[in-house]
Amino acid sequence: MSLPCKGCAWRTWLGRWSASGSEITGRTTCATDVLLQELFLIMGEEHLLTPAVLDTFFVPQLRKLQLSICSTLVNETVVQAIAVRCKNLSLLDLQKCHQMPANALVDLMKALPCLKELNLSETQCNTEVLSAVGSCCRHLRQLDITACKRLAPDALFYLAYDPMTGSFCCPKLEGLKLWKMEARTPGDLIGALAFLLLALPALRLLANGLLAEAVRLIHSGQFNSVPVPSGFPSLQELVRSRKSTHMNEGNTRLTWALTEMYDFNESSLPVISTACPYLQDVTVFLEDPSRFARHFLSCRHLAHLTLICTERRDLRDLLPLTASLGAQLETLSIQGFFFEEELSFQTLLSHCRNLMLFSASFLPFRRRSRGRQPNMEAIGWDLRVTPYELPQLYGFYLLPSDIDTPMTAQQAEILRSILVSLLKHSPCLEDVTLVSVPFSLDAVFEKVLELPGTALLNLHELSLIDNEVSPSTIHLLLSADNQLARLKLSGCPNIHASDYDALLQRVSREHFELNIVWD
């Protein structure tokens, strides 16, 4: 049995490891928590975990346990062993551990008072389990209950409040993920989310697509139609309590310290930007980009922004926003925009010099025929584009749109010039994805990699799906100085089976650690 090199500490320990059950138990009993975690993950990746081996890892010094890597081995017996022998756990990952019954989960929660991070996604978690989490895990900071089919919105109330003692629960909970929660009506879930916002004062993340609606509900004060289970305080009572606390702290309005909010409409922006001034990561569906920029001006912490246009919009409409906030953005993703003016895309990038990740879907990069691109060489290169120095950019993704209109030759030329500049002057680039661009990539990479130059030295993954690119360009990339480990060439019409075989032979011959995907 050979295992990949993962660190000196575990290799020294594993070298003395015996296949005898008693030897295994002795080794794990004396191993440190960090060593146990590293060894557990390695054995999980190598599919070496068995029920007997798994049992040996349940020792008092263990602080973190990620059972999602061996979810099929986790049953009620395993849960009972953890409850008895791992009472010091601070992190427990049970994602997809379907075989654990809810009553076993309840007993486990009662036995682990030190938990700070808990993942119960895709388990049999129900109302009783959430009640046990709320009542017993007083130090919990992160909880994931995504896709738990036995949970209904009413169960969320028991996470934040104990009706038996009349006290609030999970006072330190900062992050709660509950994607894919089923509800009879959206209103049921919106009301439960509003309760959580008001009852959990430490929340920084509440991941659900209806969060913005919950904020709007609280802002409106229209609670009469929101059902609250018997024994729980009403939303009106919680609002009065929160407002009283805010007034005592010198605040005149109700706000939250939420840092992330996803998938909300532009119409919610005025309320969201006022109620959540600390947002760092947002996804917004836009209707009129020319009007929304002013609502983000108060979001001085915004660092990760995704903007999706429900209708085609001119990229120029984004420029007021990027002029104001571009310097603080670390990631920017834009979809559904077009640019007819040469300077609009250039100007946007010049506003965002500190980007680490950039993703764009402009006009569709759909070819008209097999030959499919305009004669770009006849048009000529526009190399007057100012070089873009994005010193921190490590991910660049150019994706196709789903609008059935071809990009004009002039727009394609602008895009090609900007692409060359970005690839040449972004020294930290590690991951590049170019899907269905409207011109051949041969000349692009020839210019990017021309000598002397230091472009793409850190490139690790390159995806060129459905592009006009020749085998010679791929060999040029393989000859260049970079860290390329994964190359995707699916759907490239100029790469044939014989070319793919030749690439694989070269990889083997020159001992490249490179995985090439092609079909």
| 320 located within any domain | yes
What is the per-residue burial (b if ≥16 Cβ within 10 Å, else e) of 294-305?
ebbeebeebbbb
- Cis, bond preceding 452 (omega within 30 deg of 0): yes
Last residue of a domain, one of 62, 78, 93: 62
Residue 250: per-residue pLDDT: 53
State whether 154 and 106 are in the same domain.
Answer: yes
Pinpoint the alpha helices (H) of 264-338: 269-275, 289-296, 319-325
State whether 99 and 240 are in the same domain.
Answer: yes
| 347 located within any domain | no
State whether 211 and 133 are in the same domain.
Answer: yes
Residue 465: per-residue pLDDT: 95
State whether 94 and 166 are in the same domain.
Answer: yes
Distance of CA 200 to the CA centre of its chain: 24
Whether 81 contacts 58, CB under 8 Å: yes
Among 117, 113, 172, 182, smallest CA distance to 146 is for 182
Whether 15 contacts 39, CB under 8 Å: no
Distance of CA 493 to the CA centre of its chain: 32
| 349 located within any domain | no
**CA-to-CA dists, residue 270 to 273, 281, 295, 343, angstroms:** 6, 16, 6, 30
Q: At what angle do helices 211-220 and 186-199 cross, to 10 degrees?
A: 70
* CA–CA dist 367, 356 (Å, integer): 30
Beta bridge partners of 332: 305, 358
Query: Total structural domains in the chain?
Result: 4
Q: Give backbone dihedrals phi and psi of 282, rounded to 5 degrees, phi first.
A: -140, 150
Last residue of a domain, one of 21, 42, 62: 62
Residue 91: per-residue pLDDT: 96
How many residues make up the chain in this entry? 519
* CA–CA dist 414, 343 (Å, integer): 9
Q: Give backbone dihedrals phi and psi of 311, rounded to 5 degrees, phi first.
A: -135, 160
Instruction: Work out the number of other CB atoms within 10 angstroms of the CB of residue 245.
Output: 12
Provide the Cα torsion 476, 477, 481, 482; round to 10°: 180
Q: What is the pLDDT along the chain (519 residues), one digit of tens a residue?
A: 333 344 444 444 444 443 444 444 445 566 777 888 888 888 888 888 889 888 889 999 999 999 999 999 999 999 999 999 999 999 999 999 999 999 999 999 999 999 999 999 999 999 999 999 999 999 999 999 999 999 999 999 999 999 999 999 999 999 999 999 988 888 899 999 999 999 999 999 999 999 999 999 998 888 777 889 999 999 999 998 887 765 555 556 788 999 999 988 888 888 898 899 899 999 999 876 556 667 777 778 899 999 998 777 888 888 988 998 899 999 999 998 887 776 788 899 999 999 999 999 875 443 434 444 444 444 343 445 555 678 999 999 998 766 556 667 777 888 888 899 999 999 999 999 999 888 999 999 999 999 887 899 999 999 999 999 999 999 999 999 999 999 999 999 999 999 999 999 999 999 999 999 998
State whether 400 and 509 are in the same domain.
Answer: yes
| 351 located within any domain | no
State whether 114 and 185 are in the same domain.
Answer: yes
Residue 186: per-residue pLDDT: 87
| 256 located within any domain | no
Neighbouring C-alpha atoms within 13 Å toward the C-beta of 64? 12
Based on the number of CB atoms within 10 Å of its own CB, is 383 exposed (0-12), middle (13-18) or buried (19 or more)? Answer: exposed
Residue 130: per-residue pLDDT: 97
Residue 410: per-residue pLDDT: 75
Domain containing residue 499: CATH number: 3.80.10
Hunting for tokens 């490239």 — which residue is that? 492
State whether 239 and 271 are in the same domain.
Answer: no
* CA–CA dist 135, 144 (Å, integer): 17
Distance of CA 201 to the CA centre of its chain: 24
Q: In 365-500, at which residue ranges do the beta strands (DSSP E only) sit?
A: 395-399, 431-434, 461-463, 486-488
Among 10, 7, 61, 67, smallest CA distance to 33 is for 61
Among 385, 304, 289, smallest CA distance to 342 is for 385
Pinpoint the alpha helices (H) of 425-496: 442-448, 471-479
| 412 located within any domain | yes
DSSP summary character for residue 407:
P
Whether 240 contacts 260, CB under 8 Å: no
Based on the number of CB atoms within 10 Å of its own CB, is 158 exposed (0-12), middle (13-18) or buried (19 or more)? Answer: buried
Last residue of a domain, one of 186, 216, 248: 248
| 348 located within any domain | no
| 255 located within any domain | no
Neighbouring C-alpha atoms within 13 Å toward the C-beta of 260? 13
DSSP summary character for residue 293:
H
* CA–CA dist 268, 261 (Å, integer): 11
Segments forming the whole domain that contains residue 308: 261-342
Whether 106 contacts 121, CB under 8 Å: no
State whether 365 and 479 are in the same domain.
Answer: yes
State whether 288 and 337 are in the same domain.
Answer: yes
Query: In what helix (H) or strand (E) does residue 147 lie, and over which residues does it extend?
Result: none
State whether 514 and 448 are in the same domain.
Answer: yes
Instruction: Work out the number of other CB atoms within 10 angstroms of the CB of residue 224.
Output: 8
Hunting for tokens 């929160």 — which residue is that? 242
Identity of residue 379: I
**CA-to-CA dists, residue 491 to 96, 484, 498, 515, 518, angstroms:** 34, 20, 15, 16, 7
Query: In what helix (H) or strand (E) does residue 29 lie, and over which residues does it extend?
Result: helix 21-30
State whether 25 and 130 are in the same domain.
Answer: no
Residue 292: per-residue pLDDT: 65
What is the per-residue burial (b if ≥16 Cβ within 10 Å, else e) of 130-149?
bbbbbbbbeebbbbbbbbbe
State whether 361 and 336 are in the same domain.
Answer: no
Pinpoint the alpha helices (H) of 221-363: 235-248, 269-275, 289-296, 319-325, 342-351
* CA–CA dist 35, 13 (Å, integer): 9
